[in-house]
Chain A
Amino acid sequence: MKKLTLFLIGLAISIQAFALIPGEDGDRLLGVWEPSNGRARVKVEKIGSKYYGKIVWLKEPNDPESGVPKTDKNNPDANLQNVPLKGYRMLKDFVYQGNNQWTEGTIYDPLNGSTYSCTIKMTDPNTLDIRGYIGVSAFGRTDIWKRLAVKK
């Protein structure tokens, strides 16, 4: 009976651990990443079961015309045009699907105020293929993001 109890507890722990694997794998997306243009750094966080990325650094933090910190002035929604870009959530709603892919999300481009459907694929632990597209994946563009770490 004692052995059976231990076996059942062990089985339960194994099932629980297995159930957590997708979430743990998905958490490899967490961290700070740099898009290929090097103009920004984006920190990916997890909220609930979804992944979000916010701008935490800008190569050119201030508006060249006004000299004040940049805001989302190209957003078609006038209510959002005064929102600071630092802290802006440009990746939204990504769900880990397994096989190193996060889908169902969107990416926002502050340069033109457009939001695109987006998928993320991790090609190695420090590299992401970020594909923004319109409607169908064929009408899109892939950007390679690199993981950042604190300089030693």
Chain B
Amino acid sequence: MQHQFNNRWKSVVLSLGCWAIIDVAQAQSPDSTKQEITNDEDFSMYDNVGFADEGARRYCSPKIEGLSPAKLISVGYDYQLGYGLGAGKFTNQANRILEPDSARVLNSRGLRLGFNIPVISRTDLVWQMGANYWEQRYSMLDPDGSKLKTDHPLLQTLSENGLRTFGVSTTLFKPLDDTRFLLFQGSADLNGDFSPPGLMPLKYVKYSAALVYGIRPHEKKQWGVGLARTYRVGELNYIPVFLFNWTDPANKWGTEILFPARAHVRYTINPRNMLFGGFELEGQSYRLWRVSNSYSIQGEDLEIRRGEIRLRAMYEFSLKDFVWLSVQAGYRINYRYEVDRLVGGQEIYRAFGLLSDEPYVMENRLGNPLYFNISLNLVSP
């Protein structure tokens, strides 16, 4: 019943997403055929002009020339090939020790939906709001290839429920003048195995944010430095971030970097066909077993700290006007997939081991498979 509901719900969302992309694209009928050039005037007369309003100011743009277009709506599917998953030893509330177990993951895959709508889009302020839904479902067998038979709670819940993320996000771009700007990105995500299905209490929301102070010295370069609160390595961390977007004078080569979250080199075949090579750091904390406390320790909540590096090549191109297809292939390298506990409802903040060396309650091993991702996108003007 639940499975049917999930499938029906997924079909509705997928259909709406595709419909929105196609319908909006069809509503647009670019007229690029009529172009009457009347160059019978002396254009040099426009060299010596200035603002009619002497108090007018120039502001820098959030984009640079040659940058890949922002995605307003994205409907995608992510697929990882097979790998081994070794779930670690675990002691539950009743001090019953569960021995390590392992499984063969045939594939893990899932839908990825994203919406990003401009709320205020002005020269002196850009504010966007977004929402996203990501899922990761696992098909597993026993290591010998037979049907999965396990008592291990992690393997059970991943096999039966997978992991899901519901999130909202916001982006603010505030130009300070014609070269300097502030960029703020924030997000709130509910992540978990959602077993049994339903909404999770808001106290489990994970908040991420980044603030960057940047400089845009000219049309083809912007850079900045800032600080981020992030779960991209699986657990909470506060790290410096570095922005560097650049396009070469011939508009062929460029970079799109928000390090350490992602870094790509871009090659522009033409403004409607772009190739990328680089990596993305992906991760979140997922709440597990949200009702049953059979697997908790002294009633504390447990979460997976999942962090992975995706080395990848991408090809993004315009199918028609503003509808773009993005295809990517790469290698998914596991960075962390441990189960951690919340102490009094609070995450253990380790600061890469500098502030705490508290061990994880379950240490797991994942193989590193090839992966593929395809998405249909409506891109921004």
Q: Decide if B123 touches A87 in the complex (CB within 8 Å).
A: no
Instruction: Give the chain B neighbours of A136 by CB distance below 8 A.
Output: 24, 27
Q: Decide if A132 touches B27 in the complex (CB within 8 Å).
A: no
Which of A83, A86, A149 has a CB less than 8 Å from the CB of B52?
Answer: A149
B5 contacts the other chain (CB 8 A): no
Which of B37, B121, B249, B381 has a CB less than 8 Å from the CB of A84?
Answer: B37
CA distance A64 to B49 in the complex (A): 24
CA distance A92 to B35 in the complex (A): 10
B358 contacts the other chain (CB 8 A): no
Q: Decide if B38 touches A87 in the complex (CB within 8 Å).
A: yes
Q: Decide if B50 touches A151 in the complex (CB within 8 Å).
A: yes
Binds B, one of A3-11, A15-23, A30-38, A94-102: A30-38
Shortest CB–CB separation between residue A67 and chain B, in angstroms?
Answer: 12
Which of B25, B39, B52, B381 has a CB less than 8 Å from the CB of A140?
Answer: B381
Interface size, chain A (Cβ < 8 Å): 59
Shortest CB–CB separation between residue B316 and chain A, in angstroms?
Answer: 13
One digit per residue, 1 when the CB lies within 8 angstroms of any chain B CB and 0 when it does not, for chain A 61-73 equals 0001100000010
Closest chain B residue, CB of each to CB of A37: B61
Binds A, one of B40-48, B185-193, B360-368: B40-48
Which of B25, B31, B46, B65 has a CB less than 8 Å from the CB of A41?
Answer: B46
A119 contacts the other chain (CB 8 A): no
Closest chain A residue, CB of each to CB of B38: A87
CA distance A149 to B303 in the complex (A): 63
Known: A43-B46, A74-B270. A147 touches B59 (CB 8 A): no
Which of A65, A88, A132, A149 has a CB less than 8 Å from the CB of B37?
Answer: A88
Q: Decide if B30 touches A144 in the complex (CB within 8 Å).
A: no
Which of A76, A87, A139 has a CB less than 8 Å from the CB of B24?
Answer: A139
Q: Decide if A116 touches B43 in the complex (CB within 8 Å).
A: no
CA distance A140 to B21 in the complex (A): 14
Closest chain A residue, CB of each to CB of B48: A151
Query: Which of A74, A133, A135 has the most B CB atoms < 10 Å from its CB?
Result: A135
One digit per residue, 1 when the CB lies within 8 angstroms of any chain B CB and 0 when it does not, for chain A 35-68 equals 0111101010000000000101100000011000
Which of A87, A117, A126, A132 has a CB less than 8 Å from the CB of B53?
Answer: A126
Q: Decide if A135 touches B25 in the complex (CB within 8 Å).
A: yes
Known: A83-B35, A87-B38, A115-B31. A146 touches B51 (CB 8 A): yes
Instruction: Give the chain A neighbours of B46 by CB distance below 8 A.
Output: 32, 41, 43, 56-57, 148
Known: A76-B272, A77-B32, A112-B69. A134 touches B50 (CB 8 A): no
Q: Decide if A134 touches B24 in the complex (CB within 8 Å).
A: yes
Which of A64, A84, A113 has a CB less than 8 Å from the CB of B272?
Answer: A113
CA distance A92 to B117 in the complex (A): 26
One digit per residue, 1 when the CB lies within 8 angstroms of any chain A CB and 0 when it does not, for chain B 61-76 equals 1000100010010000
Known: A57-B43, A64-B249. A36 touches B381 (CB 8 A): no
Q: Decide if A39 touches B30 in the complex (CB within 8 Å).
A: no
Instruction: Give the chain A neighbours of B28 by CB distance below 8 A.
Output: 115-117, 134-135
Which of A36, A37, A75, A150 has a CB less than 8 Å from the CB of B32?
Answer: A75
Shortest CB–CB separation between residue B232 and chain A, in angstroms?
Answer: 28
Closest chain B residue, CB of each to CB of A35: B123
One digit per residue, 1 when the CB lies within 8 angstroms of any chain B CB and 0 when it does not, for chain A 114-152 equals 111100000010110101111110111111101111110
Shortest CB–CB separation between residue A66 and chain B, in angstroms?
Answer: 10
Instruction: Give the chain B neighbours of A77 by CB distance below 8 A.
Output: 32-33
Shortest CB–CB separation between residue B274 and chain A, in angstroms?
Answer: 11
A1 contacts the other chain (CB 8 A): no
Q: Decide if B30 touches A106 in the complex (CB within 8 Å).
A: yes
Closest chain B residue, CB of each to CB of A152: B50
B212 contacts the other chain (CB 8 A): no
Instruction: Give the chain A neighbours of B47 by CB distance below 8 A.
Output: 57
Q: Decide if B219 touches A39 in the complex (CB within 8 Å).
A: yes
Q: A86-B39, A126-B56 are in contact. List 10 more A-B contacts (CB 8 A).
A: A37-B219, A64-B250, A83-B35, A86-B43, A112-B271, A116-B381, A144-B122, A148-B50, A148-B51, A149-B51
**Shortest Cβ-Cβ A-B pairs, 5 listed:** A135-B27, A115-B30, A135-B24, A144-B123, A36-B123
Q: List 6 A-B contacts (CB under 8 A).
A: A38-B58, A89-B35, A113-B32, A126-B52, A127-B56, A147-B53
